Chains A and B, each alone.
Chain A
Amino acid sequence: MGIESALGEGFFTTKIDSLTNWARANAAWPMPMGLACCAIEMMAFAGPRYDASRFGSEVMRFSPRQSDVMIVAGWSTYKMSHAIRRIWDQMPDPKWCIAMGACASTGGMHRCYGVVQGVDNYLPVDVYVSGCPPRPDALLHALMKIQDKIKTEHSVLLDT
């Protein structure tokens, strides 16, 4: 196949963990959960100027079955929280979650009875992004933090 010609003569050794993590970290496809104005910044993050595909997050997948990172962009009401959790449960493992912006992280300025005060009330959030809304570069930073996290965890071998 192709890999011999790419590598040339010889071989290299690695761990299956590292290889898997390298692949996972550079192909983290986002599931956009655009709920408010943060979604506009998330589109800029995916667009050509900030270009998330440089980091392997090529495509926004609108199917939870094909995505790895859920970006909760915006405020979540109690009514919406059930839909978000359902989509999160449909995403295959391994999966990661970014709470983008003040509203998704803490409820933000929506300090009232109808809004969940932070999506970490029902989602396991990996990275919180501050800002209202955050700039696309801040979201890229969050994506890089996710990549760091993927690269330092065990993927195939269990930590015993």
Chain B
Amino acid sequence: MSLELNKTEQAVVDGLSSDYSEDLIEVYQSCEHTYIRVEANNIVDILTYLKKKHHFIFLCDIVGTDRYTSDERFELIYNIMNLRTQDRIFVKIRLEEENPVVKTATSVWKAAGWLEREAYDMFGIRFEGHPDHRRIFMPEDFEYFPLRKEFPLLGIPGSIELPNTTPDTE
């Protein structure tokens, strides 16, 4: 499939293939967006490079995906934007099922803090070096990761506490 890259995207792909050729896995386009899949080990360097050299200063979102039953089960998608040219690219990494750990992007964008907490809360992906590595939606003592495919839709009965309905009796 031939790629239709604009100037910024072409510069990004060229820059990554020369400077990070070992980490670059694939580049593809879908729904008028460009996706770049890279190795997870070096993700912080690549994101720093994109921010410093290509002006992708705005981190819109970090999305987790569960590719249940596939190898490298979890996927993280960094949705980043160049505010000078209004170009958006998606950087993807894949993580193992057993121990999904990746280095935090909070050193690159401060906004990554809450987005990574959400990915941790929903999928159990851990972020090495995160300054405040807590859950963001579910209670702290919740033991499951609700957006994983094996988690039942209605939750696990009794896993979240309901209020005491007889308060006078303790």
Chain A interface residues (CB < 8 Å from chain B):
78-79, 81-82, 84-86, 89, 111-114, 116-117, 121-123
Going nearest first, the 4 A-B pairs with the smallest beta carbon separation are: A113-B155, A85-B163, A78-B160, A82-B163
- Min C-beta distance of B163 to chain A, whole Å: 4
- Min C-beta distance of A116 to chain B, whole Å: 7
Provided the pairs A113-B146, A114-B137, A114-B146 are in contact, do residues A81 and B151 lie with their beta carbons within 8 angstroms? no
Residue of A nearest to B155 (CB): A113
Chain B interface residues (CB < 8 Å from chain A):
137-139, 146, 151-156, 160-165, 167
Does A122 contact B151, Cβ atoms closer than 8 Å? no
How far apart are the CA atoms of A78 and B137 in the complex, in Å? Answer: 11
18 A/B residue pairs, CB under 8 Å, sorted by A? A78-B139, A78-B161, A79-B139, A85-B164, A111-B154, A112-B154, A113-B152, A113-B153, A113-B156, A113-B160, A114-B137, A114-B146, A114-B155, A114-B160, A116-B162, A117-B154, A122-B162, A122-B165
- Give the interface centre of B152, B153, B154 by most chain A CB atoms within 10 Å: B154
Chain A residues with Cβ below 8 Å from B155 are 112-114
Residue of A nearest to B161 (CB): A78
Provided the pairs A78-B161, A82-B163, A85-B165 are in contact, do residues A111 and B139 lie with their beta carbons within 8 angstroms? no
Count of A-B contacts judged by CB separation below 8 Å? 39
Chain A residues with Cβ below 8 Å from B139 are 78-79
Chain A residues with Cβ below 8 Å from B152 are 113
Chain B residues with Cβ below 8 Å from A89 are 167
Chain A residues with Cβ below 8 Å from B138 are 114
Does A121 contact B162, Cβ atoms closer than 8 Å? yes
Chain A residues with Cβ below 8 Å from B161 are 78
Further 9 A-B residue pairs, CB within 8 A, beyond A89-B167, A112-B155, A122-B162: A78-B160, A79-B139, A85-B165, A111-B154, A112-B153, A113-B152, A113-B160, A114-B138, A123-B165
